Amino acid sequence: MNAKRLVFLLGLAGFIVMADNWVVSPILPAIAQSLHVPAASAGILIAAYMLPFGLFQLVYGPLADRLGKFRVISVTLALFTLATGLCGFGLGLADLGAYRALTGLFAAATMPISLALIGDVVPLEERQTAIGTFMGISFLGQALSMAIGGTIAYLVNWRGVFIAYAALAGLITVILMTAGRRVAGQPAQRRGGPVLAPYVKLLGHLPSLATYLVVLGEGVLVLGSFSYLGANIAQAFHFNYLGIGLIMTAFGIGAVLAGRVSGEAAQRMGRKRLVAGGLLLGAVADLLIAGFSASLALTVLGVFLLGLGFMLAHSTLLTLATEFAQAARGVAMSMVTFCFMVGGAIGTGLGARLIAAQGYQAFFVLYGILLLGLGMAGLVAINEEFGQRKAAPAAG
């Protein structure tokens, strides 16, 4: 089995995990009604998922470096499938919350460890294209999630959403474990040692620290912007969840397209310029959405540019991170994913307050301006020759 096929299979795993990540939002009112609780109380289901999803990013990196990356991905994806299925049988808010927490705990492994595995099996000159492809497929799942979940919930019920997702996850797990074993069954590279020591070394190394800070800011501004795209579209055009989901698909299309061309673009433009250019596209997207909210065509263009710019920048940052610590690549990728998700949580929380006080237009204008500033900061902070000149400490 070649590496390209493995990247595609890992992308399918990322697709279902990212789709599951966002699926509760559109079906939350249906869950609340079924369980006879207020919608605000049912919101705990989102937090129950996101908290372990964020924290366990840091656990799986050292675990994968010690036990083997493919083994960790396979086992956690199988457990993710089971936990997702259990969500379809939740009888009350407490047990459903527990099932969502388990789902988030096991889902946390897929993204960072898949990226680390891609770093192991794909040569450096092909790595950014491979990472872009993986991330594009994964974020297509996120962009399609509301449309998929809303459609299934409309045709069946909210329990059918989790059962359908579990069935798809189970199929992907079987294919990955059977078809990917030969190329991905890499031996563990590290054993023993303090769990936190690799993270301390990475954060103490200036080039890697600078990249992680840019990723943190990217999470704040890009994920923060993405979180409220659907609500902004609903307010501006009064579409149902299916219509919103279809528009949000433009984000996934932009991300997939960027993933396909990011490797060649990085070679032509240079890494730091591509990061800055991607973040600049994100800034343009936010300003388009803010300034032309009454135009459906320009709103769709803004959503597309946000996905395009995000993936051009993010795939470049991820490729840099694969070079930080080859002997502890799982740790390096767990840290970058953790920064991105923490940034997303911060950006979403701050965005909620800003929108409540000033509205969606002010929110997208501010985040657009900040994205422009982050792009300029990236030109200064990022060392694009990092992997060619000096590796980070062994991180363990």
Q: How many CB atoms lie within 10 A of CB 258?
A: 26
The confidence score (pLDDT) of residue 387 equals 47
Cα distance between residue 347 and residue 127, in whole Å: 29
Cα distance between residue 306 and residue 328, in whole Å: 32
Read off the tokens for 55: 């924290």
Cα distance between residue 38 and residue 345, in whole Å: 23
The confidence score (pLDDT) of residue 1 equals 53
> CA torsion, points 100, 103, 105, 110, in degrees to nearest 10?
-150
Whether residue 14 contacts residue 135, with contact meaning beta carbons closer than 8 Å, is answered with yes
The confidence score (pLDDT) of residue 390 equals 46
Helix, strand, coil in percent for the chain, rounding step 5: 85, 0, 15
> At 93, which amino acid appears?
L
pLDDT in tens, the chain (396 residues): 578 888 999 999 999 998 898 788 667 778 888 888 876 677 678 778 877 888 888 889 888 888 888 999 999 999 999 999 999 999 898 999 999 999 999 999 999 999 889 988 888 888 888 888 898 888 888 778 777 887 887 788 889 999 999 999 999 999 988 876 665 545 444 455 556 667 777 777 787 888 899 999 999 999 889 878 887 888 888 887 677 778 888 888 898 889 888 888 888 888 889 999 999 999 999 999 999 888 999 999 999 999 999 999 998 998 888 877 666 778 888 888 888 888 888 888 888 889 889 999 999 999 999 999 999 988 877 766 554 444 455 454
- Which of 222, 224, 242, 220 minimizes the C-alpha distance to 233? 242
Please list, residue by residue across 119-143, b when 16 or more beta carbons sit within 10 angstroms of its beta carbon and e when fewer do: bbbbeeeebbbbbbbbbbbbbbbbb
Cα distance between residue 105 and residue 94, in whole Å: 17
The confidence score (pLDDT) of residue 287 equals 96
The confidence score (pLDDT) of residue 21 equals 83
Cα distance between residue 386 and residue 4, in whole Å: 25
The contacts of residue 381 (CB under 8 Å, 6+ apart) are 210, 211, 213, 214
Read off the tokens for 227: 């979180």
- Which of 69, 93, 244 minimizes the C-alpha distance to 154? 244
Residues 37-66: tens digit of each pLDDT: 876 677 678 778 877 888 888 889 888 888
Residues in the chain: 396
Residue with tokens 């997303």: 344
H runs (alpha helix) in 122-157: 124-155
Q: How many CB atoms lie within 10 A of CB 240?
A: 11
**CATH among 2.40.30.10, 1.20.1250.20, 3.40.605.10, 3.30.300.30 for 3-384:** 1.20.1250.20
Cα distance between residue 222 and residue 340, in whole Å: 10
